[in-house]
Amino acid sequence: MSEAGLAERLASVRAGIADAAAAASRSPDDVTTIVVTKFHPASLIADLVGLGVHDVGENRHQEAQAKAAELAALPLTWHFVGQLQSKKARQVRAYADVIHSIDRSSLVSALASEEQAVDCFVQLNLTDDPGRGGVGPAGLSALVDEVLTAPGLRLLGLMAVAPLDEEPRRAFARVRELSESIRSQAPDAVALSMGMSQDYRDAILEGATHLRIGTAITGNRPKPH
């Protein structure tokens, strides 16, 4: 992958974000772009840092752990965005600055700690398929309460992936409404982690504060190994 191509794609996405923010009468500075670098080598992340990227996202523990160790000297914020096994929770906590995928009680218990607090999101499942990860809307309020009372977790807000069979803008509006529904319970959890390569404009229009963008910036992912 040529670095020139990477710079061009990054510039193009940044322009798209600025354009969507303007359309939403929002400041692009209120939107954090996380570049999702899964399956790509650590060298790509180093190239991204050279282009001014501060936030990267990974979805597989072993891969993320190895890259975070290799790139420990770089000024990066590491976001864990994938499904997380409870038995791996403490290891992820050791390198991740932000965990986007809290979706069940057992994971809250596994991540709870008297150590330094870790920023986190509760992941919503907007589909009827439990295999997609995330808590259903009916279980949201109870899970939010558990996160709020667990030591060592600082709840930033909600995370979601738009379903394949729903218009993204509608799906993101649902996330915004669910976020408003927990406002009295969790007044500080106002962040919305939503929007990927294909739908980040819609996400910004519905109030996304954290975009998770992979291929539009990195180019196609190498095959997983």
| Distance in angstroms (rounded) separating the CA atoms of residues 140 and 120 | 14
The site that binds ligand PLP (CB under 6 A) totals a number of residues, namely: 13
Whole-Å CA distances, 157 to 17, 107, 181: 21, 16, 12
Q: Which is nearer to ligand PLP, 48 or 116 (CB)?
A: 48
DSSP character at residue 190: -
Query: Which secondary-structure segment (H or E) carries 78?
Result: strand 77-80
> In angstroms, rounded to a whole number, what is the distance separating the alpha carbons of residues 158 and 154?
12
Look up residue 81 and give its amino acid. V
Judged by beta carbon, residue 149 or residue 215, the one nearer ligand PLP is 215
**Unique residue bearing structure tokens 């020139």:** 4
Closer CB to ligand PLP, residue 36 or residue 191?
36
Tokens (6 digits) for 190: 């106002």
Is position 197 an interface residue for ligand PLP (rule: CB under 6 A)?
Answer: yes
Q: Which is nearer to ligand PLP, 145 or 176 (CB)?
A: 176
Binding residues among 59-118 for ligand PLP as defined by CB under 6 A: 59, 81-82
Which among 5-13, 86-94, 140-148, 207-215 is the span making contact with ligand PLP, rule CB under 6 A?
207-215
Among 53, 68, 194, 196, binds ligand PLP (CB under 6 A): 196
Taking the C-alpha atoms of residue 45 and residue 54, their distance in angstroms, rounded to an integer, is 10
Residue 126 interacts with ligand PLP (CB under 6 A): yes or no: no
Looking at beta carbons only, is 167 or 188 nearer to ligand PLP?
A: 167
Q: Token digits for 214?
A: 């992979």
Interface with ligand PLP by CB under 6 A: which residues?
36, 38, 59, 81-82, 161, 196-197, 212-216
